[in-house]
Every structure is written in structure tokens, then in C-alpha cells.
Amino acid sequence: MTKRSGTRQWFKRHTNDPFVRQARKAGYRSRAAYKLIEMDQRYRIFRKGQVVIDLGGAPGGWSQVATEKVGKTGQVIAIDLLPMQPMEGVSIRQGDIADPSIHDWIERELKKPCGVVISDMAPNITGIRDRDQANAVRLWQMALQFALQYLGKDGAFIIKVFQGDGFEPFLNQLREAFKSVTVHKPKASRTASREVYFMAKNPKFRPNMVKKSDF
């Protein structure tokens, strides 16, 4: 298959995707919004008035869902290496979560302790499977450290992961760090995709146990 024909097939599959059409109709920036909606309906992740931090927020589908769930009394903070268009009710910062200046900004923005950290981060794909998986695992570790730094004792951490090397060890790490961990593959995830989501609730560690220097 040539690169051009592969691109055409992807575009055809994408435009015919019912979740893509549904997202456009509803005004969501990405089909991924329906993954988070499904998980919240099943596991009751969000509450009105919560603070949510969205890692890898661009283009903004998850932040849109989060703002709907926490309401006007809540707060949503989104961070991504990529630019993200402004969104009502969301504080947006372009940057790397390993950058201390990002943490300084977050601490200034936070109005109260964080209730939920959501991460849809994924590495740039090289096409070399082992390298891509290793890069993904590195992002998972960064997101976990971030969550343990900011979440309160009743907090929840939602993260996208990919089945492969590092999957089981990371799942075990979550089970050591949180009282409850669930694995879920939303209906909006494509069947052929290796992605699944971990939902971890109630950190065993105290807030701020992980410091900025750990990133």
C-alpha cells in the first residue's frame, strides 16, 4: 500500500466514523469527547465544582466535556505541547508538564485542590513500534507523577495507555498508588486500536508527595 492510498483510506474511514459525525453535530472538537462521556456515565468521575487538569488537552474535546461536568463553579486547566484554541471556562497553557514554569503557572491558577487529572497524551508516532511504546510509557510515568502531585485524597486519574511492553508494570504501579483501578475500552475507541483507559481513584499517597523535581 502506498502512502497516498493509505491516507485516502484513513480519510474515508475518518469521515464515515459515526463518532466523528456525532462530534461535529454536537460541537465537540474531537471524537474523543465520547470516550470521556462514556467513562463518566459508567464510573461517575466528575462532580459539580471540581477542579480538573487536562494533560494533552489539544484540540479540546476532553476539556469541553470536563467543563460541562464541573459547571460554572468548577475549574478546568488544560496543558499541551500543541497550541489549543481558546475555550470558555478553560485556562489553557502551551508547554511541557516537565517544565517547572508550567507547575508555577498551575499553582497560580488553581483555585482549590484538584479533583480529577485526565490524560489523553500520546507520543509522536515514528512507525517503530518498540520506540513508540517506550515513548508512550515515558508519558504515562510523567502523567502519574503529575497526578500524585496535584490530586486530593478523593481524586481520580484517567489516562490513555496502549497495550504492549510496559502496560502491566504501569498497571501495577497504579494499583500501588491508588485504592481503586479499573481498565476500560470505550465504544468510541476503534476496534483495531491498542488503546485502553485506566481509571484510578483515591490516591494512597498524600497530595504533594511527588515534587516538581521528580519530573
Active site residue ranges: 160
Distance CA 64, CA 75 (A): 12
Round to whole Å and give the CA distance between 106 and 147.
Answer: 13
CA angle at 31 for the pair 25 and 37, rounded to the nearest 5°: 95
Task: Please provide the DSSP assignment of 135-202 as one string.
Answer: HHHHHHHHHHHHHHHHEEEEEEEEEEEESSTTHHHHHHHHHHHEEEEEEE--TTS-TT--EEEEEEEE
Residue 89 is classified by DSSP as T
